[in-house]
């Protein structure tokens, strides 16, 4: 396929318009992944060492971090015109330890390449 200058200039605004939402998503996905790992540690302390105090403090903090992740991911999904299935998959990735790191990399690659989920 032959590209012209006009094709490149039309594709550029779409890629640059997603840079802000993508950066916010990447930060939120990283924070969610770290937060979920922290929650796992807190749950071990709660159930293995029978100490519920750290869980009572940290669990609501993790909940707020995850809610921010949901809002930022939906914002990116709407702007990048993802499918419902892809959007739900990305949202659920924030519930599985370490999966948000993997999904963040895949989402970044696809959005940068101009492909949809």
Full-prediction pTM beyond 0.75? Answer: yes
Please give the backbone phi and psi of residue 115, each rounded to the nearest 5 degrees, phi first. -100, 155
* pLDDT < 70 positions in the chain: 1-15
86-115 pLDDT, tens digit each = 999 999 998 998 998 999 999 999 988 888
43: exposed, middle or buried (Cβ count in 10 Å: 0-12, 13-18, 19+): middle
């Amino acid at each position: 396929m032959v590209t012209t200058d006009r094709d490149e200039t039309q594709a550029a605004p779409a890629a640059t318009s997603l840079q802000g939402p993508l950066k916010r998503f990447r930060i939120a996905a990283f924070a969610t992944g770290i937060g979920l790992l922290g929650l796992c540690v807190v749950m071990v302390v709660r159930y293995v060492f029978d100490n519920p105090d750290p869980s009572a403090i940290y669990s609501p903090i993790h909940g707020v971090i995850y809610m921010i992740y949901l809002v930022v991911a939906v914002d990116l999904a709407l702007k990048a015109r993802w499918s419902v299935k892809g959007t739900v998959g990305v949202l659920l990735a924030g519930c599985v330890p370490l999966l948000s790191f993997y999904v963040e990399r895949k989402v970044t690659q696809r959005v940068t390449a101009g492909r949809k989920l």
